[in-house]
Structure 1
Amino acid sequence: MAIEQYRDVESGEANGLQDLQEPFIQEGKVAACKNVEADNERVENGSIGMVLLSTFVAVCGSFAFGTCVGYSAPTQSAIREDLNLSLSEFSMFGSLVTIGAMLGALASGRITDFIGRKGAVRVSTGFCITGWSAVFFSKGSYSLDMGRFFTGFGIGVISYAVPIYIAEIAPKNLRGALATTNQLMIVIGASVSFLLGSVITWRTLALAGLVPCISLLVGLCFIPESPRWLAKVGRGKEFQAALRKLRGKDADVSHEAAEILDYTETLQSLPKTKFLDLFQSKHVRSVVIGVGLMVCQQAVGINGIGFYTAETFVAAGLSSGKIGTIAYACMQVPLTVLGAILMDKSGRRPLITISASGTLLGCFLTGAAFFLKGQNLLLGWVPVLAVAGVLIYIAAFSIGLGPVPWVIMSEIFPIHVKGTTGSLVVLVNWLGAWVVSYTFNFLMSWSSPGTLFLYAAASLLTILFVAKLVPETKGKTLEEIQACINS
């Protein structure tokens, strides 16, 4: 019953039962389905004030994530000039955040299971504060790089811990809406970094990165730990108190508490999955889809274009990259909201296909601008094409390729392999982010139009990959999705 009722702690999504033992399916599935139908009609009567406060505090971490990701784009020229860094040294600085994030993502599962969701967020915030402080006080590349690495490790843990915490505290009728705030706040944080970076110094911008971190540390003192984690580690009294605090003291939490305990007991009875188990025939297509989507997401060049937006505009012939960067920042937030709205209306496949088509067009236009500049043709049109291409690219990426792969990833894996597959997919994503962010400046030095056309080709391959392998998951139960994948 609890498996159907409760959505997986790692993703907030319902999980399939097909891999549980057959006797369990026969005894519990019919009753669970009836219970889900009844619960879908039931209105949650508890207070949601503490849930909203807890979510707001948690997404301060998402905001910190975004400020870190958006830091290098508006600061490249100033940091290189002030610290006398070569292009190679700045590329290492820009990409170290992804190396740190890869290690943070790998460690995040064990950290969140060992010290709790709040404890993991505290640890990650400590790393971010240390990192921003090192960047602020840096006098050379060594301390600058160490600071970037520490902030990367912090956001690697945050990228795992914050969505889990939100999924575990939210009532089921609000879980989807609250889960979208994570991605939204990442985008807002990056946009704020872009905007502030155009008017303040890079050291002051690093100091500003401390604000969401400190806010998060303070806010954690006023919100409860995840009830589901407390139940998992056997802290019964604290589990009851946390659940009651989240649902309101007058709410009847006995039904939900029983389901959480039932789910926890069932989860502990499932066999532990080894890495090699992911390549069994019943899982391999899900792994190919999940990993493939993350490769596609990074291969279109988002971390290169996003990290070095201002320099890209200047290279295309604009006198300053600030106007384009500000436009970039202002577009991201409303388009991410639009993507969240369209996801359950248009479906996953059409949205990601349209998005990849848009990134293809944006890369082609920007590449054409660099080509014309190199050939001294139509020079008056070069800046217009470059800005239009980048903005079309960002608009298209924000509504589809940004959020959709994460949603599909949360839907296609069975419950007992989700932890292992989730770590693999996150690792692949951050590894791809590092490769793109580190190689972008070198590729642009090799051939600016060639680099953009390469990303356009990756966008085309993404369209073909989605058309050939990715199933539509909108409106389907997890059992139906698994049946579709394994058919």
Structure 2
Amino acid sequence: MKDKKLGDGAHQAMLGGEKKPKVTTKETDRADEYEALQSFLRSISSTATLPPYVKGETFSSFRGVFNQCLITCAVLVLAAGAGHPIGFSAVALPQLMVENSSMKIDEEMGSWIASIHSAATPLGSMLSGPIMEAIGRRRTLQCTTLPLIIGWIVIATSVHNGVLLFGRVLCGFAVGVMAAPSQVYLGEIAEPRLRGLLIGTPFVAYSMGVLYVYALGGVFSWRHVALLSMVLPGLAFVALCFSPESPTWLARRGRFHDAMAAMARLRGDPDIAQRELHELVNAREKEKARGEHSIKFLATVTRAPVLKPLLLINLFNMLQILSGSYVVIFYAVGIFEESGGSLDPHVAANASALVRLCVTVIACILLLRLTRRGLVMISGVGTAVCTLSLAYILFQGKVEGLAPPVFILGYVAFNTLGFFLLPGLMIGELLPTKVRGLCGGYIFCLFNAVLFGFTKLFPIMKAKLGMAGVFGLFGASSSLATVVLFLLLPETKGKSLLQIEQYYQKPNILWVTRKKASNNQEV
């Protein structure tokens, strides 16, 4: 009964039925926000007659879809620039280790050059949450281009290993800051039917950025590669100047008219934009009426609707790292070389980047057709089969022929199909609106901290276990990740962000118990 009264109160506030509260000195900000809300609601009062959502979906006009894709392209340019530092170590290390190199390094320094990027990324990820909540998603993405460009300049002009490492730190910091805002931004501007595709496309650009660096490394020196890597971040900054801010962020900041302008541009139809924004503001007011709006961050993340998706995302991220998704990018040439086979390691590394790019494109298209869970299950099973099969072959002894590179390329393909895209999808879809920005930053912070440790220790692990043991670990982690996702991952295809939040507000934990939990809730 109490919840019903609170909900009714929020509904009356939405209709402007409550009288304006008396303003005191301490309540000036609250009164200003109240007045802005009432002004906004009066301007879209016609939304009271609009039909409700059908299965949580909003269909934009052709103009709206075009605008969403155009804005996504601006993020894609930046995402491709973020892929450059990841792939750079694979082309720079072989050049730096040759005898006539001007900055010759040993294997220990090489591991630092490969892993230091991931050591700096957690700091950027930790700061990205507060930054994007304070200045917005779009501005945060623009700010990341500056340290990224400076980092490449430092790398290209370095004359000492320490300077090179500092440049890698700057690039890693920039990539850490941009990781969460890009996924959150695309998740908040996209309509439900396009959200999976738009959130997945940055991984296409990311893979293209890695391939771009691999290709340049086969033609130019590592210094020239660093200089050419500055082009895309500069273009991204300019493109983002013409993009709107996230309507969700604007509405939660009380900037309702700005949110309406941004939503109208993204949906291409004022009526559709009004209805969606009205639902968003209504949910926000009900949240305030329940007293949840003012709960501190730590208390909020320990609540079940937030804690359940947060634990799932972090658990999968750890298993994904152990499955080798990123280590294969950092040490591509070396892994192909030590696994054996008749294919040239440099050619095989370029082939892996090309496979990753093509499969990412295919995965984004499949997200429009297949369910999230179906795509992830195919990815998990395929990844486990390829890695465990390769581990068995390598355990028999050194293998010639095409078997090792074919299995590695198959592993890259299946891993990219679902596992590679899933972290971004989960952050953009599973986290509640009020903590999406902050939690997204902290998730990437933990992810990159563990990734740094795993990347740094990879040479030691490889020496102790051998390549057979390494791929055995990849296979075991992939298998466990598949089981975890089968049990816990909800299906979000075609669901609005509000519907996904409501799923986690129910007492279900396993996906198979959702119907029983839903029936109990209704009773």
TM bucket by the smaller chain? Answer: 0.7 to 0.9
Cα distance, 1:245 vs structure 2: 5.3
For the residues of structure 2 that align with 1:421 and 1:45, how far apart are their CA atoms? 33
For the residues of structure 2 that align with 1:89 and 1:453, how far apart are their CA atoms? 27
Indicate conservation of the 8 Å contact 2:189/2:246, yes or no: yes
More off after superposition, 226-235 vs 139-148: 226-235
Cα distance, 1:61 vs structure 2: 1.2
For the residues of structure 1 that align with 2:373 and 2:362, how far apart are their CA atoms? 16
Indicate conservation of the 8 Å contact 1:286/1:485, yes or no: no
Q: TM-score, normalised by structure 2?
A: 0.77
**Aligned position for 1:7:** none
Superposition pairs for residues 274-313 of structure 1, below 5 Å? 274-275=297-298, 278-279=301-302, 284-313=307-336
Work out the percentage of aligned pairs sharing the same amino acid. Answer: 25
For the residues of structure 1 that align with 2:255 and 2:491, how far apart are their CA atoms? 40
User: Which letter maps to 1:451?
Assistant: V
Superposition pairs for residues 174-189 of structure 1, below 5 Å? 174-189=194-209
Structure 1 counterpart of 2:404, from 358, 363, 386: 386
Cα distance, 1:100 vs structure 2: 1.9
Secondary structure of the 1:459 match is helix
Superposition pairs for residues 7-22 of structure 1, below 5 Å? 22=4
For the residues of structure 1 that align with 2:335 and 2:347, how far apart are their CA atoms? 12
Cα distance, 1:40 vs structure 2: 4.2
For the residues of structure 1 that align with 2:277 and 2:493, how far apart are their CA atoms? 29
**Aligned position for 1:74:** 91
Cα distance, 1:412 vs structure 2: 4.0
For the residues of structure 2 that align with 1:208 and 1:400, how far apart are their CA atoms? 30
Q: How many residues align?
A: 461
For the residues of structure 2 that align with 1:146 and 1:137, how far apart are their CA atoms? 12
Q: Which has the larger radius of gyration?
A: 2
For the residues of structure 1 that align with 2:140 and 2:250, how far apart are their CA atoms? 14
Cα distance, 1:140 vs structure 2: 2.0
1:202 aligned to 2:226?
Answer: no
User: Which letter maps to 2:86?
Assistant: V
**Aligned position for 2:70:** 53
Structure 2 counterpart of 1:151, from 160, 165, 171: 171
For the residues of structure 1 that align with 2:304 and 2:134, how far apart are their CA atoms? 32
**Aligned position for 2:422:** 404
Structure 2 CA distance for partners of 1:475 and 1:50, relative to 1, 3 Å: closer
User: Which letter maps to 1:109?
Assistant: G
1:37 aligned to 2:54?
Answer: yes
What root-mean-square deviation, in Å, do the aligned CA atoms of Structure 1 and Structure 2 show? 3.5
Indicate conservation of the 8 Å contact 2:194/2:368, yes or no: no
Cα distance, 1:397 vs structure 2: 0.3
For the residues of structure 2 that align with 1:431 and 1:51, how far apart are their CA atoms? 33
Superposition pairs for residues 120-159 of structure 1, below 5 Å? 120-159=140-179
Spell out, residue by residue over 1:239-272, the C-alpha distance to the aligned partner (whole angstroms, 9 max, x if none). Answer: 5555555566998855556555555656666233
Spell out, residue by residue over 1:82-138, the C-alpha distance to the aligned partner (whole angstroms, 9 max, x if none). Answer: 322121211111112212221111111111122223321222110100111111111
Cα distance, 1:351 vs structure 2: 3.0
More off after superposition, 413-422 vs 53-62: 413-422
For the residues of structure 2 that align with 1:32 and 1:359, how far apart are their CA atoms? 50
For the residues of structure 2 that align with 1:466 and 1:171, how far apart are their CA atoms? 25
1:221 aligned to 2:241?
Answer: yes
Structure 2 counterpart of 1:450, from 469, 480, 500: 469
Indicate conservation of the 8 Å contact 1:102/1:431, yes or no: yes
User: Which letter maps to 1:158?
Assistant: M
For the residues of structure 2 that align with 1:288 and 1:386, how far apart are their CA atoms? 35
Secondary structure of the 2:105 match is coil
More off after superposition, 171-180 vs 212-221: 171-180
For the residues of structure 2 that align with 1:137 and 1:37, how far apart are their CA atoms? 57
User: Which letter maps to 1:202?
Assistant: W
Indicate conservation of the 8 Å contact 2:80/2:209, yes or no: yes
Indicate conservation of the 8 Å contact 1:98/1:152, yes or no: yes
For the residues of structure 1 that align with 2:490 and 2:240, how far apart are their CA atoms? 39
1:322 aligned to 2:346?
Answer: yes
Q: TM-score, normalised by structure 1?
A: 0.82
User: Which letter maps to 1:454?
Assistant: L
For the residues of structure 2 that align with 1:66 and 1:399, how far apart are their CA atoms? 17
For the residues of structure 1 that align with 2:408 and 2:386, how far apart are their CA atoms? 6
User: Which letter maps to 1:457?
Assistant: A
1:334 aligned to 2:352?
Answer: no
Gaps of 5+ in 2: 15-47, 511-516, 518-523
